[in-house]
Amino acid sequence: MTTALITGSTAGIGAAFARRLAAQGHNLVLVARNTARLSEQATELHDRHGIEAEVLTADLSTEDGIAAVEERLDDRTHPVDLLVNNAGFGNKGRYLEVSLADELTMLKVHVEAVLRLTTAATRSMRTRGRGGVVNVASVAAFLPRGTYGASKAWVVQFTQGAARDLADSGVRLMALCPGFVRTEFHERAGMGTDNIPNWMWLDADKLVAEALSDLARGRTLSIPDPRYKALMGVTKLVPRGMLGGISSRTGRKYGPR
């Protein structure tokens, strides 16, 4: 039986990955900051699907948190076959309205943690000749949207570059770029969502199903839902200056996740 490790597993997209993978018979390593929520989630998934769900409490904005997950990924006696780097957050406010400390914390979670955990996972996977990594980015990666968009653009570029370098290793890497998903993401960041049209919202469970299908097909980039695929196609035709104006009027108030 294979094992999947999911960061940010207790809510939103991470929880949807956990439900889907447990239903498919995968054992899980559930990673988040809240031990009580992790334990509740692990018990529910074990009771419902009969899988083993390991709990790992870790804050990926800290050195100790990243190191703890790295150590688990380095465990060759209980290998991880699929890593889902989902942990992330948004800051409310324009550039210079957000504290530098908060900006650096975002880079710690979105960039450093993703780099280090992907590296720890793929080293072991390459030795075994199989495995997969899903790095959750955002359609914000394709828009000029400050530190959040820049960090997600890094996730996309890094993941696709690493996928190319490991193409013959049996290890698959994919960047997942969702749009607006009904999760706790916006509420935690204090971002309003009243102005977002209903048609732009995606269902987390359907998104995850499509993402896993894309990973199985060997794709290195997944933009779930035809609506967002079309929107991202349009962005290639719009001048960057105009995209910046649109992003300033909308994305600063609420960001895709």
Q: Which of 47, 66, 50 is nearest to 58 (CA)?
A: 66
Specify whether 148 is catalytic: yes
Q: Which of 157, 77, 161, 83 is nearest to 116 (CA)?
A: 83
Four-CA torsion 43, 14, 4, 65, nearest 10 degrees = -90
Catalytic residue among 95, 148, 228, 254: 148
Q: Mark 200-217 as b/e (b = at least 16 C-beta within 10 Å).
A: eebebeebbebbbebbee
The Cα 190–Cα 80 span in angstroms is 34
CB atoms within 10 A of CB 255: 25
CB atoms within 10 A of CB 82: 22
Residues in the chain: 257
Q: Which residues are catalytic?
A: 148
